Amino acid sequence: MSSHQPLPETAGPPVCPRHPDRISYVRCQRCGRPVCPECQRQAPVGVQCVDCVAEAARGARPTQTVLGGRVHDGRPVVTITIIALCVVSYVLQLAVPGWTSRWAFLPAAGQVEPYRFLTTAFLHSPSSIFHILFNMYALWIVGPFLENALGRARYIALYLISAVAGSVGVLLFASPVTDAWYVAAVGASGAVFGLFGAVLVVLRRLGRNAQSFLVIIGLNLVIGFVIPQIAWQAHVGGLVVGAGLGAAYAYSPTPRRREAGIVATVVAAVLVVGLAMVKYAGV
């Protein structure tokens, strides 16, 4: 309840505390102080002053989704930011010599320059614009839904860890005695497939139909095995980790949802990094 106290009655007419030069016979229903038209805010019964409205807003719990994500009005800023970064990076790939080779992941360079596990997810094939168009379209299909359902923090963690998992998938299936060890793999496919895996689990948790996504995932997995120069290993790595992390977020107990989300994120990150370290230790 507001800590404001009604002003003592005086001989003169009541005036607004914020605007002492304005006489007001209308009082705030919450604190009882006079409130001028500029400071009035409509309430379910009568009006309230701006101070009481602000105090009530600070004390109100943020609106949350079923899975504990904070509801944000407006555009899916995280998804839009990721798409913007990929587009900017793609332009730099076309305009700056060596940009792709500087940030792309290849197993031979990952141990010395581990940042490549993540940065490669913001690169796409410079020779085919359809590569980035498909990935960004897929991201736009599932990204805003997951961003709202899980909340921005868990959504960012899911995307980034799935991206790294895609690179780790490429690493695990590569051998230092083959050419694959020295071939770069680029694209946001690992991260996107991570979102695909997570959305399947989330939709099931919410009791909604996920059949269309199953068809899309199945087709893309088949395409990855059939068409050459597609890193199906990244698809598999991202899909498995994304589904697991999405399940942890979706099915965590409500009273411990925040703690469970943190633990699941740390465990997934440690697992992905650990697999990469084990692979490099064995070569």
Bridge-partner residues for 185, per DSSP?
105
Residue 197 near residue 238, CB atoms below 8 Å:
yes
Cite the active site residues: 189, 235
Q: Which two tokens stand for residue 137?
A: 């379209």
Report which of 56, 62, 15, 61 is spatially closest to residue 39, judged by C-alpha positions: 15
Report which of 202, 200, 203, 207 is spatially closest to residue 221, judged by C-alpha positions: 200
Q: Which two tokens stand for residue 282?
A: 């064995």
Q: Which two tokens stand for residue 255?
A: 């009273």
In b/e form, how buried is each residue of 168-180, taking b as 16+ CB within 10 angstroms? Answer: bbbbebbeeeeeb
Count CA within 13 A, CB hemisphere, residue 215: 4
Report the distance separating Cα 187 and Cα 228, nearest Å. 15
